[in-house]
Amino acid sequence: MRSKIVAGNWKMNKTYQETKSFVKELTKEVKKVKLDNTRVIIAPSFTNLQKASKKTKGCKIEVAAQNMCAMESGAFTGEISASMIKNVHVDIVILGHSERREYFGETNESLAAKVNTALKNKLEVIFCFGEVLEDRKSKNHFKVVEEQIKEALFHLTSDDWKHIILAYEPVWAIGTGETASPEQAQEMHAFVRELVAERYISDVSEEVSILYGGSVKPANAKEIFSKEDVDGGLIGGAALKVDDFVALIKAI
């Protein structure tokens, strides 16, 4: 059975002190919740990964990095390698977020290389994809998403897919307050699962968790999470407050 996942992408938010107190409070709250098949993940900035991973040790909160260099090591000023992430006991990395694509020039091709490096280093990947508003308006959203997934992920083996989590994040819904309707999310998630089913054995498409991201908050989470092919959320703004984040965990 595929996992349900609530993941908080903190983006460029929270200092060291803020990370420490957030994690302290969150671990206390998460202990009170019956998680069953649900995974809880937080993705702080690089400078706070080590603190977060230490503080969450032994409790059911996992920690993810928000990005990673495709290169293993060397003269790449300012970059962080997969082994550096693993070295602070972090086993998950978010790749392909639309903000990385838009502001830092990441492409399906460069993301394929990052995915390879991550898997080689035994990092699990939360792979983000999603269309911009013009794509949806021109009814190109399925085509764009298909390309993003095929070009970055379809060279992988069925075994590799055990370490892939997908996250559909329509760019027009990120940080805008405008959420995709539960039906729009379900439609795209079902499309993606079918795409994966056509390329791989059915185990892969049935087992891969597909998260929705884009203005998810306690008020709309239940309805979105209730859709058959929506296995949880990748959350930005609402993941920055313990109360809201816990409400999202409970919603699932």
Residues forming the active site: 97, 169
> How far apart are CB 9 and ligand 13P at their closest, in Å?
4
DSSP-assigned letters across all residues of 52-117: HHHHTTTTTEEEEES---SSSSSS-TT---HHHHHHTT--EEEE--HHHHHHH---HHHHHHHHHH
If the CB atoms of residues 213 and 232 are measured against ligand 13P, the closer one turns out to be 213
Which residue's beta carbon is nearest to the bound ligand 13P? 236
126: phi then psi, degrees, rounded to nearest 5: -95, 105
If the CB atoms of residues 184 and 215 are measured against ligand 13P, the closer one turns out to be 215
If the CB atoms of residues 48 and 204 are measured against ligand 13P, the closer one turns out to be 48
> How far apart are CB 186 and ligand 13P at their closest, in Å?
18
200 with 159: CB under 8 angstroms? no
Size of the site for ligand 13P (CB under 6 A): 14
Residues 4-43 that bind ligand 13P (CB under 6 A): 9
Q: Which amino acid is at 164?
A: I
Residues 203-242 that bind ligand 13P (CB under 6 A): 213-216, 234-238
Residues 6+ apart with CB under 8 A from 193: 205, 208, 210, 229
Binding mask 157-196 for ligand 13P (x = CB under 6 A): ------------x----xx---------------------
Pairwise CA distance, residues 209 & 97, whole Å: 17
> How far apart are CB 103 and ligand 13P at their closest, in Å?
13
If the CB atoms of residues 14 and 97 are measured against ligand 13P, the closer one turns out to be 97
> How far apart are CB 121 and ligand 13P at their closest, in Å?
22
Phi/psi region, residue 3 (left: phi>0; alpha: psi -120 to 50; beta: rest), is beta
CA dihedral 177, 140, 124, 83 (to 10 degrees): -90
Pairwise CA distance, residues 113 & 115, whole Å: 5
- Interface residues with ligand 13P (CB under 6 A) are 9, 97, 169, 174-175, 213-216, 234-238
